[in-house]
Amino acid sequence: LVENTALSSWAGTASITTLGTIVTGTWQGTTVAINQGGTGQTTAQAAIDSLSAVSGATNEHVLTKDTGTGNAIWKVATGGGGGGANTALSNLAAVAINLTLVSDTDNTDALGTAAIGWSDLFLGNESVITWSTAPSSADLTLTHSANTLTLAGGALVLGGALNVTGDINPTTYDTANGGFLDEDDMNSDSAVATASQQSIKAHAAASAITLLDDEGQALLRNHAYLANTDGWVFWSSTANAGGQGVTAYVDTDATPTTGGHKVSQDESAAAGDLLSVNFHVAAGEYFEIAPAAGITVTDIGWRSFGPLVAVTDQD
């Protein structure tokens, strides 16, 4: 028993049962065995490797805290061994991709879900979106170049209306799917070319001829009226019990002395029948409606239609 005495060395003692607190000094002895609370190793790297049995089958393990014991252990990363990130990632603020972001299986992984979609997609100049029916097979592409998007390899089918605010400048027309070729030659009989409204109007303006004509129809019944679309109305005020008739006359003179040229006549078989006359009036001509004897028509005389308009000859 040694008390209150400083020792520089102590030789010949096989073991010390009780040792107080060692305040200073450096351990320079041999390794401390694992079963004695040590690692059995002489370096830090060797000590970490000895925390669990590490062999060729346990490559790519990570040093982590065991949730059950709270001890530091070597554990295989979630998803198995191999290079890269094989564990699930979440709550990432930003990710820098140095090369290419590649799915592990063709046509399997989705970018986003039906419930949670991405917001904006930013692509660089000359970028290409490619659709493939098989790996390494570019079937349909959408290419950006010089502020223009070019769809190649397939057709664009719309299920709704297409609203275009700018100009449409097609280079070809798909006549089998509703497109048409504008036809400016009105003398052709093309089976695929269709004249546009602009072409028709231009042809009509160039082909206009002076064909001024209007058509009238007069209807007369006892105690009824006769009229045409230009607005003139004649009233019938008396009846002819023995039958009735009406005649239309046309003449170039507003007050002809010969009674004009009879162009239409209708004679009924019984009183009250509806009478009808049809006639044409050309430019500069006048018409008169003359009822048969026994029918008095007020405010009637030689009249003309309203302003006649030019029509065109469309062959």
Domains of the chain by residue range: 119-156, 166-206, 210-312
For 46-73, b/e burial (b = at least 16 CB within 10 A) is eeeeeeeeeeeeeeeeeeeeeeeeeeee
**Which pLDDT score, from 0 to 100, does residue 310 have?**
38
Q: Is a pLDDT exceeding 60 seen at residue 55?
A: no
Q: Is a pLDDT exceeding 70 seen at residue 214?
A: no
- Selected residue with higher pLDDT from 64 and 223: 64
The residue ranges of DSSP E strands in the chain, in sequence order, are: 61-65, 72-76, 128-131, 140-145, 148-152, 181-182, 193-194, 208-220, 225-227, 233-236, 245-251, 261-267, 275-282, 286-291, 297-298, 310-312
Q: Name the architecture of domain 210-312.
A: Sandwich (2.60)
Identify the three-state secondary structure at position 200: helix
Identify the three-state secondary structure at position 205: helix
Quick one: average pLDDT of 122-135? 91
pLDDT tens per residue, range 130-152? 999 888 888 999 999 988 999 99
**Which pLDDT score, from 0 to 100, does residue 141 have?**
93
pTM value? Answer: 0.35
Find where tokens 């390794």 sit.
31
**Which pLDDT score, from 0 to 100, does residue 293 have?**
59
